[in-house]
Amino acid sequence: MEISEHTRGLFLGMARWAKFLAIIGFISVGLIAIVGFGVMFIPSDAAEMAAERNMIFSAGSVVAGLILLVFAVVYFFPAFFLLRFASRVKQGLMNTDQTTFENSIASLKNMFTYMGILVIVMLSLYGIVILAAIASAASRS
């Protein structure tokens, strides 16, 4: 397989944007994780009141912090796959290494597959929540 100079330029441009988006993704993941730990461990008024009652942390802040940490883990992988694509596509094109270039495309495929599965899961959760809300509203009538 040969890649024209135009296509090579397009891939290098994609690599720059992918690296940028991956870095923004990693920063976002880090901020979400920091907020998650902060929600769990930095005392709020509710947590201080719980501590006065000999409870270490309020359950709500721990649950909210854990949910944020789960989001951080979930969103880590798309950023990781994008960064891996960006570095490998650039390396493969600069060194005219077919295997590295193909591995970069596989990383991009992994990112799209992961995001597709994530969308399916989220849409399923939305459907379950909507059905539960409808069932709850119907039972109150």
Ordered by start, the domain boundaries in the chain are 5-107
The whole-angstrom separation of Cα 77 and Cα 85 is: 12
Looking at the chain, the whole-number percentage of residues with pLDDT higher than 70 is: 87
Q: Residue 39: pLDDT band by 50, 70, 90 thresholds?
A: confident
Output the pLDDT for position 85: 97
- Give the residue-averaged pLDDT of 76-104: 95
Output the pLDDT for position 62: 84
- Give the residue-averaged pLDDT of 7-22: 96
Q: Would you say residue 54 has pLDDT above 60?
A: no
In 3D space, the residue among 24, 8, 11, 13 whose CA is nearest the CA of residue 83 turns out to be: 24
Instruction: List the single range of 8-22, 55-69, 118-132 with lowest mean pLDDT.
Output: 55-69
